[in-house]
A and B are shown apart, each in its own frame.
Chain A
Amino acid sequence: MQSPLSSVHRWVWRDARRRANNLLRFAEVEADGGRDLVRAAEQTKDPLLRRLFLVHALDEQRHAGLFRQRGLALLSGLPRGSDGPANTDWLAPGERGLDDLRVEQEADGALLAFLHLSEKAAARDFTHYIAVLDGDPPTREVFEKVCHDEAFHMNYTHAQLLRVAPKDHGRLLWMARLRRLWSLYLRFAGALASVIGTVVLTLQYFVLLPPFALMARRAQRREPEGWSPIAAERNGAALKRQY
């Protein structure tokens, strides 16, 4: 199926350095995801889920290795030290790359619903990447291998969700969808707030702070190099002070 974003994906994956950087970032995301799953395995009281989460974690670890290996291979063929192309992390999220998972706060059912949707989203994204990677068969092969496992992950998470929450799985899936949306909104809002904060603070820096900067630099020039004595009153000083 042709993605409406296929031309964007094609652009993102066209440049070899960007491709390598994305793969190396995916490797970290997969490794992080693997650690989340290990934590999930350690938290659950359900032995079958524990075994499945551990195998899933091993898959993620293997995926991390595949992405890393391919990313390094791509990098090794490029001239060293040159500046990379524009960062496109947000255009090509990896698995659970846009989600924050607090495993210890999740019940088994909610976690399975969350994982199911994440795996589904990752499989969809990876399928799109495969479609635009005609010119790089080894990278395409990596995504195909990973996608194969994602299908298993989607299936087992769904099957287990039906087992642990037979009457509640639909609601849990909807809750997980809403949480993904909420998390997306928070991420967007956080990024926007950060940009606004940076603009305001940068303005302050240039408009309000120059006199203070001048004073700070003058004070710095008066500071002796090397040892500074510690005033006696600082030893055993009142511990109630924050400064």
Chain B
Amino acid sequence: MKILGVSAHYHDAAAALVVDGLPVGAVQQERLSRRKNDAAFPLEAIEWCLDSAGLEPEDLDAVVFYERPMLKFDRILVSALRAFPHGRGAFAHAMKNSLGEKAWVRGLITAQLGVGRDKVLFTEHHQSHAAAAFLTAPTRHAAIMTTDGVGEWATLTVGRGQRTPGGPTSLVLDREVRFPHSLGMLYSTFTAYLGFAVNEGEYKVMGLAAYGRPTMADQVRKVIRRTRDGAFALDLDYFAFHTTVARSYSKRFVDLFGPPRQAYEPIDLATPEGRRFADIAASVQAVLEEILVDMTRRLHADTGLPDLCLGGGVALNGVANARILAESGFERLFVPPAPGDAGSALGAALYADRIHFGNPDRDMPDHPFWGPAIDDGELARLAGEDGLPVADLDEAALIEQTADDLFAGRVVGWMEGALEFGPRALGHRSILTAPHDVAMRDRLNRDIKYREEFRPFAPVVPIEAADRYFELPPGGARLARFMSGVFPVRPEWRERLAAVTHVDGTARVQTVERDMAPRLHALLEAYGRRSGMPVLLNTSFNLAGEPIVNRVVEGYSTFRRCGIDVLVAGRSRIVKRALAQASPQEPNEPQEELA
């Protein structure tokens, strides 16, 4: 069967194609449209998925949308009614917003793809998350928890899944917490309060938390309290997201936590105000962790299963994930590379395949590389057109040369194979550097990523060497496969891993198995032979405000605009030549070319 999964309209639009039970392609719309967090109907992503499999829309057996739009509309409408008379703005906004396109997904899909109406299916939002987490994980029987801002009505669900090799699959969600009570909305509210963009700045809150102390945890526990049955409830007097689209917190929230940070205001951790913001971030992070740990502990006690699959946007919180692994009682924790809404496109397709159509279980390839592959000859062409010398090297020479570059302190843009599916660059569209000096971290922040100083960079290490440098609990290496956990750097290595060690002595480690990324693994080994440590700093190949690069030309334009020294794409390598570099200090340079 050929099943297309689609997620769209809120954030992270994506498409994924499943053929005969296995994914053959999955890509976020932003990587093709080049608009960060593009939520538009992912026509380009769909076209790529179909083209890459040589299919036409009429070849599809089903197109599955990742949530039930009318149920979502029901929640939006009811929320506006419940807020009467204060919800008039939210009501008008919701009507205009939903009735324009978002409520008519079946018609949209049939019109855009030309498939019959009977081929368009809908899963529930959290079923899609659950399927993305469970059906892609190497486990047969696991507890499942999904948690995010909100889907239709559910904000958190728990259940369990069971797969029988070559046989049937069951995926049952048995309990849910409903809107407006939401861990995702809690975290997003603090994200907005701290002056960051919702659905984008949550990483920043997590990074900032390490600089603070949870001195305001008790205040956070006032706005979210535990219910007697082990769930939680928000005190809605502190929130406004359920009544207005203009802001997510109320005046009472501000009275409790103090004035919010303005979006443009820099966070200066040397000032009392900067420290207050860091303490608030630490407090909400601590309370989130304590709730998640407690809920997963109860889930473990209920199910008695050793494995937990975690899905939904909250599963991107690597600090919380590490605590769940360490304290919940589960032996293994599986978080997919795309636990958010983008991954739901794949989850929806897999859910339809296994549960709706009842197709037999199949072992899933355990990697994140489902997107478009690079064109090996493109870098040579581009560099040639711009008069930059390009070296085409064989595999071994390229690895050795790149290891030399890294050992010499150069920043390398690294592109190979198929694009990652999900928000992390896991070695196919990465910026790599030596991880040893704070100066390198500062250089990356200042000249390349143009981002806040308090945000950490991640290390990448071969799985067999990970334990030497990082304190990985049992199951930690697995969680680190897709960079989903934050673990302590061993104290004796923190100085030599200063660029990737966060202020609290932790790092969001990626462990690399040779089978998953042989080239990156070889590069790490080659670098290890030079430096004595097979560890590199790995950050996503993009600049602030831009999505991760997809095609070589995008990597090339990024290389030309920032402080990356070397660009490797496939087997081609170019280095920055000062004269060829378009520098912001030389705005008139092309006039010479015009003359």
Residues of A within 8 A of B (CB): 24, 31, 35, 38-39, 41-42, 47-48, 50-52, 54-55, 57-59, 61-62, 68, 71-72, 75, 80-81, 104, 149, 152, 155-156, 159-160, 194, 197-198, 201-202, 205-206, 209-210, 212-217, 220, 223, 225-230, 234-236, 239-243
Task: Give Cα A229 to B159, complex, Å.
Answer: 11
Task: Determine if A226 and B233 form an interchain contact, defined as CB atoms under 8 angstroms apart.
Answer: yes
A230: chain B residues within 8 A (beta carbon): 157, 159, 173-176
B355 within 8 Å of A by Cβ? yes
Task: Determine if B583 and A227 form an interchain contact, defined as CB atoms under 8 angstroms apart.
Answer: no
Interface-side segment among B81-89, B311-319, B508-516: B81-89
A61: chain B residues within 8 A (beta carbon): 561, 584
B54 within 8 Å of A by Cβ? no
Task: Give Cα A41 to B386, complex, Å.
Answer: 13
Task: Determine if B591 and A243 form an interchain contact, defined as CB atoms under 8 angstroms apart.
Answer: no
B123 within 8 Å of A by Cβ? yes
Task: Determine if A197 and B587 form an interchain contact, defined as CB atoms under 8 angstroms apart.
Answer: no
Task: Give Cα A215 to B118, complex, Å.
Answer: 35
**CB closest chain-B residue, reference A223:** B178
Shortest 10 CB-CB distances between A and B: which pairs?
Answer: A226-B227, A213-B84, A226-B231, A239-B121, A243-B70, A47-B385, A216-B81, A201-B92, A242-B70, A226-B229
A201: chain B residues within 8 A (beta carbon): 91-92, 95-96
Task: Determine if B95 and A226 form an interchain contact, defined as CB atoms under 8 angstroms apart.
Answer: no
Q: How far is the CB of A197 from chain B (nearest CB, A)?
A: 5
Task: Determine if B590 and A52 form an interchain contact, defined as CB atoms under 8 angstroms apart.
Answer: yes
B208 within 8 Å of A by Cβ? no
Known contacts A227-B176, A242-B71; decide if A156 and B96 are in contact (CB<8 Å).
Answer: no
Q: How far is the CB of B318 from chain A (nearest CB, A)?
A: 26
Task: Determine if B587 and A55 form an interchain contact, defined as CB atoms under 8 angstroms apart.
Answer: yes
B68 within 8 Å of A by Cβ? yes
Interface residue from A42, A68, A160, A214 paired with B264 (Cβ < 8 Å) = A68
B105 within 8 Å of A by Cβ? yes
Interface-side segment among B186-194, B243-251, B487-495, B545-553: B545-553
Task: Give Cα A24 to B173, complex, Å.
Answer: 46
**CB closest chain-A residue, reference B100:** A197
Task: Give Cα A152 to B87, complex, Å.
Answer: 50
Interface residue from A75, A194, A239 paired with B64 (Cβ < 8 Å) = A239
Mark contacts of B564-586 with chain A using CB atoms, 8 A cut-off: 1 yes-contact digit, 0 otherwise. Answer: 00000000000000000011101
Task: Give Cα A211 to B545, complex, Å.
Answer: 45
| CB within 8 Å of A: which B107-128 residues | 118, 120-124, 127
Task: Determine if B71 and A42 form an interchain contact, defined as CB atoms under 8 angstroms apart.
Answer: no
Interface residue from B78, B88, B385, B553 paired with A202 (Cβ < 8 Å) = B88
B106 within 8 Å of A by Cβ? yes
Task: Determine if B591 and A58 form an interchain contact, defined as CB atoms under 8 angstroms apart.
Answer: no
Task: Determine if B355 and A213 form an interchain contact, defined as CB atoms under 8 angstroms apart.
Answer: no
**CB closest chain-A residue, reference B556:** A42
Interface residue from A38, A198, A212, A228 paired with B81 (Cβ < 8 Å) = A212
**Interface on chain B toward A: helix, strand, loop, or mixed SS?**
mixed
| CB within 8 Å of A: which B7-41 residues | 33-34
Task: Determine if B174 and A229 form an interchain contact, defined as CB atoms under 8 angstroms apart.
Answer: yes
B553: chain A residues within 8 A (beta carbon): 42
Task: Determine if A58 and B584 form an interchain contact, defined as CB atoms under 8 angstroms apart.
Answer: yes
Interface residue from B33, B34, B173, B229 paired with A235 (Cβ < 8 Å) = B173
Q: How far is the CB of A137 from chain B (nearest CB, A)?
A: 22
Task: Determine if A194 and B88 form an interchain contact, defined as CB atoms under 8 angstroms apart.
Answer: no
Task: Determine if A149 and B587 form an interchain contact, defined as CB atoms under 8 angstroms apart.
Answer: yes
Interface residue from B264, B554, B586 paired with A24 (Cβ < 8 Å) = B264
A213: chain B residues within 8 A (beta carbon): 81-82, 84-85
Q: How far is the CB of A73 from chain B (nearest CB, A)?
A: 11
* Interface size of B in residues (CB-CB distance below 8 Å): 76
B582: chain A residues within 8 A (beta carbon): 51, 54-55, 58
B356 within 8 Å of A by Cβ? yes
Task: Determine if B122 and A241 form an interchain contact, defined as CB atoms under 8 angstroms apart.
Answer: yes
Known contacts A58-B583, A225-B233; decide if A197 and B96 are in contact (CB<8 Å).
Answer: yes
A38: chain B residues within 8 A (beta carbon): 546, 557, 561
**A-B pairs with beta carbons under 8 Å apart, 17 shown:** A35-B546, A39-B34, A47-B385, A52-B593, A75-B262, A149-B587, A152-B591, A155-B594, A198-B92, A205-B84, A216-B78, A216-B82, A230-B173, A230-B176, A235-B172, A239-B64, A243-B71
Q: How far is the CB of A55 from chain B (nearest CB, A)?
A: 5
Task: Give Cα A216 to B243, complex, Å.
Answer: 14
Task: Give Cα A240 to B264, complex, Å.
Answer: 46
**CB closest chain-B residue, reference A221:** B82
**CB closest chain-B residue, reference A237:** B124
**CB closest chain-A residue, reference B119:** A240
Task: Determine if A72 and B266 form an interchain contact, defined as CB atoms under 8 angstroms apart.
Answer: yes
Known contacts A198-B92, A242-B69; decide if A156 and B594 are in contact (CB<8 Å).
Answer: yes
Task: Give Cα A215 to B78, complex, Å.
Answer: 10
**CB closest chain-B residue, reference A27:** B264
Task: Give Cα A235 to B174, complex, Å.
Answer: 8
Task: Determine if B557 and A239 form an interchain contact, defined as CB atoms under 8 angstroms apart.
Answer: no
Q: How far is the CB of B532 from chain A (nearest CB, A)?
A: 38
Q: How far is the CB of A144 from chain B (nearest CB, A)?
A: 14
B356: chain A residues within 8 A (beta carbon): 236, 239
Task: Give Cα A215 to B546, complex, Å.
Answer: 45
Interface residue from A47, A235, A236 paired with B386 (Cβ < 8 Å) = A47
**CB closest chain-B residue, reference A200:** B92
Interface residue from A39, A47, A159, A205 paired with B92 (Cβ < 8 Å) = A205
Task: Determine if A59 and B591 form an interchain contact, defined as CB atoms under 8 angstroms apart.
Answer: no
Task: Determine if B81 and A209 form an interchain contact, defined as CB atoms under 8 angstroms apart.
Answer: yes
Interface residue from A41, A220, A229 paired with B82 (Cβ < 8 Å) = A220
Task: Determine if A42 and B557 form an interchain contact, defined as CB atoms under 8 angstroms apart.
Answer: yes
Known contacts A226-B177, A235-B173; decide if A48 and B593 are in contact (CB<8 Å).
Answer: yes
Task: Give Cα A243 to B230, complex, Å.
Answer: 28
Known contacts A61-B561, A216-B78, A239-B64; decide if A206 and B231 are in contact (CB<8 Å).
Answer: no
Task: Give Cα A42 to B542, complex, Å.
Answer: 14
B171 within 8 Å of A by Cβ? yes
Task: Give Cα A164 to B91, complex, Å.
Answer: 50
Task: Determine if A75 and B590 form an interchain contact, defined as CB atoms under 8 angstroms apart.
Answer: no
**CB closest chain-A residue, reference B124:** A234
Known contacts A38-B557, A51-B593, A229-B175; decide if A75 and B584 are in contact (CB<8 Å).
Answer: no
B227: chain A residues within 8 A (beta carbon): 225-227
B173: chain A residues within 8 A (beta carbon): 230, 234-235
Besides A62-B587, A72-B266, 12 new A-B residue pairs in contact (Cβ under 8 A), listed by A number: A54-B561, A55-B589, A58-B584, A155-B591, A194-B96, A209-B81, A216-B81, A228-B176, A236-B356, A239-B121, A242-B70, A242-B105
Task: Give Cα A129 to B442, complex, Å.
Answer: 36
B33: chain A residues within 8 A (beta carbon): 104
B455 within 8 Å of A by Cβ? no
Known contacts A205-B91, A225-B227, A242-B71; decide if A59 and B584 are in contact (CB<8 Å).
Answer: yes
| CB within 8 Å of A: which B471-527 residues | none
B265 within 8 Å of A by Cβ? yes
